Protein backbone atom coordinates (compact mmCIF):
# COMPACT_ATOMS: atom_id res chain seq x y z
CA UNK A 1 0.00 0.00 0.00
CA UNK A 2 2.78 2.43 0.89
CA UNK A 3 4.50 1.71 -2.44
CA UNK A 4 1.28 2.61 -4.28
CA UNK A 5 1.00 5.89 -2.36
CA UNK A 6 4.66 6.63 -3.11
CA UNK A 7 4.13 5.93 -6.81
CA UNK A 8 1.04 8.16 -6.94
CA UNK A 9 2.89 10.98 -5.16
CA UNK A 10 5.77 10.67 -7.60
CA UNK A 11 3.34 10.70 -10.53
CA UNK A 12 1.71 13.89 -9.21
CA UNK A 13 5.15 15.48 -8.78
CA UNK A 14 6.14 14.44 -12.30
CA UNK A 15 2.97 15.88 -13.86
CA UNK A 16 3.26 19.14 -11.88
CA UNK A 17 6.90 19.63 -12.84
CA UNK A 18 6.19 18.97 -16.51
CA UNK A 19 3.29 21.41 -16.43
CA UNK A 20 5.35 24.09 -14.68
CA UNK A 21 8.32 23.77 -17.02
CA UNK A 22 6.24 23.65 -20.20
CA UNK A 23 3.76 26.36 -19.20
CA UNK A 24 4.47 29.54 -21.14
CA UNK A 25 2.82 31.77 -18.49
CA UNK A 26 5.23 30.84 -15.69
CA UNK A 27 8.65 32.43 -15.67
CA UNK A 28 10.74 29.82 -13.89
CA UNK A 29 14.11 31.16 -15.04
CA UNK A 30 17.21 28.98 -14.94
CA UNK A 31 17.21 27.88 -11.29
CA UNK A 32 13.49 27.07 -11.24
CA UNK A 33 13.63 25.16 -14.53
CA UNK A 34 16.67 23.20 -13.36
CA UNK A 35 15.09 22.29 -10.01
CA UNK A 36 11.76 21.35 -11.60
CA UNK A 37 13.55 19.23 -14.20
CA UNK A 38 15.58 17.47 -11.50
CA UNK A 39 12.43 16.74 -9.48
CA UNK A 40 10.70 15.42 -12.61
CA UNK A 41 13.64 13.15 -13.48
CA UNK A 42 13.91 11.71 -9.99
CA UNK A 43 10.14 11.21 -9.80
CA UNK A 44 10.29 9.29 -13.07
CA UNK A 45 13.13 7.14 -11.73
CA UNK A 46 11.17 6.54 -8.50
CA UNK A 47 8.18 5.37 -10.53
CA UNK A 48 10.06 3.14 -12.99
CA UNK A 49 12.96 1.90 -10.79
CA UNK A 50 14.88 0.40 -13.74
CA UNK A 51 17.97 -1.67 -12.95
CA UNK A 52 19.85 0.00 -15.80
CA UNK A 53 20.05 3.26 -13.82
CA UNK A 54 21.99 1.57 -11.01
CA UNK A 55 23.04 4.36 -8.63
CA UNK A 56 20.18 6.62 -9.70
CA UNK A 57 17.51 4.07 -8.84
CA UNK A 58 19.00 3.60 -5.36
CA UNK A 59 19.64 7.26 -4.56
CA UNK A 60 16.80 8.91 -6.44
CA UNK A 61 14.78 9.72 -3.31
CA UNK A 62 17.75 11.56 -1.80
CA UNK A 63 18.27 13.50 -5.02
CA UNK A 64 14.54 14.22 -5.11
CA UNK A 65 14.63 15.65 -1.58
CA UNK A 66 17.58 17.88 -2.50
CA UNK A 67 15.79 19.06 -5.64
CA UNK A 68 12.61 19.82 -3.69
CA UNK A 69 14.69 21.82 -1.18
CA UNK A 70 16.21 23.83 -4.05
CA UNK A 71 12.73 24.35 -5.46
CA UNK A 72 11.45 25.56 -2.08
CA UNK A 73 14.29 28.09 -1.81
CA UNK A 74 13.59 29.27 -5.36
CA UNK A 75 9.87 29.60 -4.61
CA UNK A 76 10.56 31.56 -1.40
CA UNK A 77 12.91 33.94 -3.21
CA UNK A 78 10.31 34.56 -5.96
CA UNK A 79 7.58 35.13 -3.38
CA UNK A 80 9.85 37.43 -1.36
CA UNK A 81 10.71 39.51 -4.45
CA UNK A 82 7.05 39.84 -5.46
CA UNK A 83 5.54 40.49 -2.03
CA UNK A 84 8.19 42.05 0.18
CA UNK A 85 10.51 44.09 -1.98
CA UNK A 86 7.72 45.99 -3.74
CA UNK A 87 6.25 47.30 -0.46
CA UNK A 88 9.36 49.17 0.66
Contact 74, 37 (CB under 8 A): no
| Per-residue model confidence as pLDDT tens digits over 1-40 | 767 777 788 888 888 888 888 877 777 778 778 888 888 8
| Per-residue model confidence as pLDDT tens digits over 59-74 | 777 777 777 778 778 8
pTM above threshold 0.85: no
What b/e sequence results for 41-53 when a residue is b if at least 16 CB atoms lie within 10 Å of its CB, and e otherwise? bbbbbbbeeeeee
pLDDT at 20: 81
Amino acid sequence: MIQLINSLANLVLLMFCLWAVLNKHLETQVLGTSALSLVALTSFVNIMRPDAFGFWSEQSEVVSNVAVAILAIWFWRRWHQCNCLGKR
